[in-house]
């Protein structure tokens, strides 16, 4: 099996590439344009791996895509390449339309041409797995049931709208042209190598520096948190055994408000850094003006994934957060390097309350 992973140097993509190389005998071609949030060091173990190739390029480049498919002839595609930060989409939506909508269209067109040229049994085994987000479903009330595969779309931000559009394109290519597609929607991800504009690494970076930890509004937004390694395991199972044309929701049933989450992180830091001059770290929490159109609650019902494919998260939220804090403590130099590179442009501005696919 040879898999093309778009966005494979990103936070979730790199976790999937690592898992494929560690747990299967498959080959992986990583396609990534190495934008600001990509981190090639997350694929250090794959750098000289005989079953891995890195191709630097943009999914919007049709000529490049045709060359990649012609040279590597993938037997599956996992599409993770996306602009994914909500605040950036509010400030500049055009890049989100270019990558998430037009880029997905270019990839679908190239994939369809490649798939039509395959012969059986390769054609029947081929899969196109599109990785989406729970944000396309809009917001939930405090007592609403979690999102399900049948939940109607109601995107509220330019980011969510661009992902919704890409989802519709993928399903249309499956329905109209017969391309064997899979779609998955995940809740907020966290874990190692996450770019520090997102809530958890941003909060840890601020706390370690003794700086205010910004939370939107009152910090009462509710999110369903999923460790990135558990997400990667789910993606691999969906690719292996998912039904073509089916949609799967991936979540860990771990809802927390942003304030609860950050206070948990601060408590773990207090325990692991007893000599820190910033203890108790929770005193650094600072509330900032909410962003426009901020959805109050997301939650995922992963029953189909659990029932059909037997997937379950391997760790509780508490276990995952503790391991994540330890990882960032062990990688403080990396965190400081990124903050130094990007502060003044995006980081440290009270931005980044999400961990999107």
Query: What amino acid positions are annotated as catalytic residues?
Result: 134-135, 159
As a whole number of angstroms, the distance between CA 71 and CA 304 comes to: 36
Peptide bond before 118: cis, by omega within 30 degrees of 0? no
As a whole number of angstroms, the distance between CA 87 and CA 74 comes to: 34
- Please check whether residue 265 is in contact with residue 192, taking contact to mean a CB–CB distance below 8 angstroms: no
Spatial CB neighbours of 79, under 8 Å, sequence gap ≥ 6 = 6, 7, 59, 104, 107, 128, 129, 130, 131, 170
What distances in angstroms separate CA 70 from CA 19, 64, 107, one per listed residue?
25, 10, 13
Q: Read out DSSP for 162-189?
A: HHHHHHHHHHHHHHHH---EEEEEE-EE
Q: In the structure encoding, which two tokens stand for residue 65, read together?
A: 């895509």
Sheet holding 188-190, edge to edge: 188-190, 222-227, 255-257
DSSP 147: B
């Amino acid at each position: 099996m040879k898999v093309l992973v778009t966005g494979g140097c990103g936070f979730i993509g790199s976790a999937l590439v690592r898992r494929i190389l560690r747990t299967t005998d498959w080959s992986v071609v990583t396609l990534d344009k190495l934008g600001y949030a990509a981190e090639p060091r997350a694929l250090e173990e794959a750098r000289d791996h005989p079953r891995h190739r890195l191709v630097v390029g943009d999914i919007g480049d049709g000529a490049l895509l045709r060359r990649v498919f012609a040279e590597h002839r993938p037997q599956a595609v996992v599409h993770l390449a996306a602009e994914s930060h909500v605040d950036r989409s509010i400030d500049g939506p055009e890049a989100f339309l270019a990558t998430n909508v037009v880029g997905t269209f270019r990839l679908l067109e190239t994939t369809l041409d490649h798939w039509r040229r395959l012969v059986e049994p390769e054609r029947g085994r081929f899969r196109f797995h599109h990785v989406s987000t729970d944000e396309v479903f809009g917001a939930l009330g405090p007592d609403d049931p979690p999102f399900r595969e049948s939940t109607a779309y109601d995107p509220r931000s330019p980011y969510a709208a661009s992902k919704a559009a890409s989802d519709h394109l993928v399903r249309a290519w499956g329905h109209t042209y017969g391309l064997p597609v899979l779609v998955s929607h995940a809740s907020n991800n966290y874990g190692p190598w996450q770019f520090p504009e997102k809530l958890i690494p941003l909060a840890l970076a601020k706390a370690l520096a003794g700086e205010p930890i910004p939370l939107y509004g009152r910090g009462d937004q509710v999110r369903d948190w999923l460790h990135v390694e558990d997400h990667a395991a789910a993606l691999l199972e969906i690719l292996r055994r998912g039904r073509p044309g089916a949609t799967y929701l991936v979540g860990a049933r771990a809802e927390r408000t942003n304030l609860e989450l950050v206070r948990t992180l601060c408590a773990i830091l207090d325990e692991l850094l007893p000599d820190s001059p910033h203890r108790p770290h929770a005193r650094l929490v600072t509330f900032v003006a909410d962003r426009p159109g901020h959805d109050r609650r997301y939650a995922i019902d992963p029953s189909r994934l659990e029932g059909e494919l037997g997937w379950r998260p391997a760790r509780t939220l508490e276990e995952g957060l503790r391991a994540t804090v330890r990882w960032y403590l062990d990688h403080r130099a990396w965190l400081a390097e990124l903050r130094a590179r990007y502060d003044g442009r995006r980081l440290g501005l009270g931005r980044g309350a999400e961990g999107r696919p």
